Amino acid sequence: MDMANALLGRFLGAALTAGLLLTLTGCQDDDAGSRAAGDGSPVVVAPGKPGGPARTLSPEQAARERPDDSPNAADHAYVRHMAEHHRQALAMSALAPDRASAEGVKRLAERISAAQGPEIGAMEKWLSRYPAPGGDSGGHDHAAMPGMATEQQLAELTAARGADFDRLFLRLMTAHHQGALKMAGEALAQGNNVAVEEMANEVVATQSAEIERMRALG
């Protein structure tokens, strides 16, 4: 859970720097900034309009001008659903050590587990921090999520061994990752919370690279 805390902290940290780029307590490059910092009071440098100078604000002004990134329904849905989506990837990856024959497949499964386990923890902590309005847990048919393997496919994967397992694992996990990219793209288009945006970008970067790795292994 320490990794999950660190990961959520990084995602939340992005929200604090969105729009207002840098908090300063020392010297400023511009004269206005130097005067503001002269009494030791903290100031915030906010980006100006395109082509215009940056502005120096007090922390109170900065807080008022910071864009509202309150989570919306798309943010809550993405985090709930992606956490469940990740859990299936972990279950599939847990089968690899005893069933896969290719070392590359085993290493890939280890990488997936190492990445997605902490991400689930960060998502669960985000949900605790931002409960859905009215306590709505947003019931959802998990099988309908993009890329999710069916019960029959999971049974076939569990029964497979050696090269058969490798081929089926790569096929199912590639589809699973492609589904995650679709979900992340929807969150980036419809969501409002900066931390969720960071989570979705992380999924896109990590799983896009893993799809390329799986194609090479196949």
Q: What is the pLDDT of residues 8-21, one digit of tens each?
A: 666 665 555 554 44
Q: What is the pLDDT of residues 24-50, one digit of tens each?
A: 443 344 444 444 445 556 666 766 556
Q: What angle do CA 206, 169, 110 make, to 5 degrees?
A: 50
**Matching CATH number, 73-217, of 3.90.1150.10, 1.20.1050.10, 1.20.1260.10, 3.30.360.10:** 1.20.1260.10
Mean pLDDT of the 89-102 span:
99
Other C-beta atoms lying within 10 Å of the C-beta of residue 153: 15
Domain boundaries, the chain: 20-65, 73-217
Show the tokens assigned to 174: 């590639």
Is pTM beyond 0.85? Reply is: no
Strands in the chain per DSSP E: 22-24, 43-46, 55-57
